[in-house]
Chains A and B, each alone.
Chain A
Amino acid sequence: MKEHVNHIPSYNLIIKILVALLFFTFINTVTSTEQFGTLAIVLSLVYAVVKSFLVLSYYMHLKYESRFMQYMVTGVFVLFTLVIFITFIDYSFR
């Protein structure tokens, strides 16, 4: 196991991320109050995914974590998506 340098995210970075997160939250409320139809749900999910990506990489330090952890977290999300997808093989073809 190699010693990796311990990254400490600066206050500055933390605030930048916070601004981005708040920004997406704000847009989200806007795009869903207007009549965006089914697009609204898609957009909401896209924003949520972007936001969670930010939180995971910076606040939860995944960016500085080992490759293995990054794969694992991605894997878990992929696994969950697959489960939903497979369940819908049932529900969409009823």
Chain B
Amino acid sequence: MSNTAHHAAHGIDRDSGKMGMWLFLFTEMFLFGGLFLVYAVMRSQYPKEFHEGSLELNVFIGTLNSVILLISSATMAASLTAIQKNDKKMALRLVLTTLILAITFMVFKGYEWNHKLELHLYPGSEVMRNLAKGEIMFFGLYFMMTGLHALHIIIGCTLLTIVAIKIKKESINSQNFLLLENSSLYWHLVDLVWIFLFPLLYLIS
């Protein structure tokens, strides 16, 4: 979708561009939806083990990351307001803040994963194999879901970088900001997914 802005030059109006983006977001929702379905089924099969598994996760980091992502969503939304108000500097600053927050999120995530690796808690490991079946499943889902989510953050970061450059070069401006708008839609979706992931993985006691 990264070339929507390019189309803008050829007369891709904002409405169509946004509509295309929303349709794309629907597919993302169902992509994660598949995982949520597996989660729901597995949780109904192993309620106790899921509880046990979630105790292993670091709620503090989870919460911190939630806060970070929510703030980044707000800055992203604000940058869209800024560009529409023709405040280029502010828009750029807000996009960069979002980017930094995203990277912070990844750093914490990396720390969390690394910790799991140190405990030899990763799919296929000896430690993992000796857990109860439901717990293996819990961690499997944990890695798959957060992993896919992290992948989306990384894609988002790339997108944000491009947006930042384009704002700087003024090819995104108060008249033509479809790419910024679509990137922010994408970014909010990533946030939306986390809004569900966080309680389901970290907070189920």
At the interface with chain A, which of B1-9, B69-77, B131-139, B162-170? B69-77
Q: In the bound complex, do residue B199 and residue A48 qualify as a contact, i.e. CB atoms below 8 Å apart?
A: yes
Residues of chain A within 8 A (CB-CB) of B19 are 69
Q: A18-B74, A40-B205, A80-B33 are in contact. List 6 more A-B contacts (CB 8 A).
A: A8-B85, A14-B74, A40-B204, A52-B195, A87-B40, A88-B44
Q: Assess the A59–B77 pair: CB atoms within 8 A.
A: yes
Cβ–Cβ < 8 Å partners of A51 in chain B: 195
- Complex contact A17–B74 (CB within 8 A): yes
CA distance A29 to B198 in the complex (A): 10
CA distance A44 to B96 in the complex (A): 31
In the complex, chain A residues whose CB is within 8 Å of the CB of B196: 48, 52
Within the complex, which residue of B22, B70, B76 is in contact with A69, where a contact is CB–CB below 8 Å? B22
Q: Does B171 contact A (CB under 8 A)?
A: no
Chain A residue numbers with a CB within 8 Å of B70 are 18, 21-22, 25
How many interface residues does A have (CB within 8 Å)? 44
One of B59-67, B122-130, B146-154 contacting the partner: B59-67
Q: Which residues of A contact B71 (CB under 8 A)?
A: 18
**Residue of B at shortest CB range from A77?**
B29
Interface positions, chain A 10-66, Cβ under 8 Å from B, are 10-11, 14-15, 17-18, 21-22, 25, 28-29, 32-33, 35-36, 40-41, 44-45, 47-48, 51-52, 55-56, 58-60, 65
| Secondary structure type dominating chain A contacts | helix
Decide yes or no whether A73 CB sits under 8 A from chain B: yes
Which 7 pairs between the two chains have the least Cβ-Cβ distance?
A44-B199, A32-B203, A18-B74, A59-B77, A8-B84, A21-B70, A51-B195
In the complex, the chain B residue whose C-beta lies closest to that of A54 is B195
Known: A76-B29, A88-B44. A59 touches B81 (CB 8 A): no
Residues of B within 8 A of A (CB): 15, 18-19, 22, 26, 29-30, 33, 36-37, 40-41, 44-45, 59, 63, 66-67, 70-71, 73-74, 76-78, 81, 84-85, 184-185, 188-189, 191-192, 195-196, 198-200, 203-205
How far, in angstroms, from A10 to B108 measured CA to CA in the complex?
A: 31
Q: B14 — nearest CB in chain A belongs to which residue?
A: A6
Q: CB < 8 Å: which of B15, B66, B184 contacts A25? A: B66
Point out the residues of chain A lying under 8 angstroms from B36, CB to CB. 84
In the assembled complex, the Cα of A48 lies from the Cα of B203 at a distance in Å of: 12
CB distance from B30 to the nearest CB of A (A): 7
Q: Who on chain A is nearest to B79 by CB?
A: A14
Q: Is the CB of A47 within 8 A of B192?
A: no
Query: Scoring A residues 72 to 94 as 1 if CB is less than 8 Å from chain B, else 0, what string do you get?
Result: 11001000100110011001100
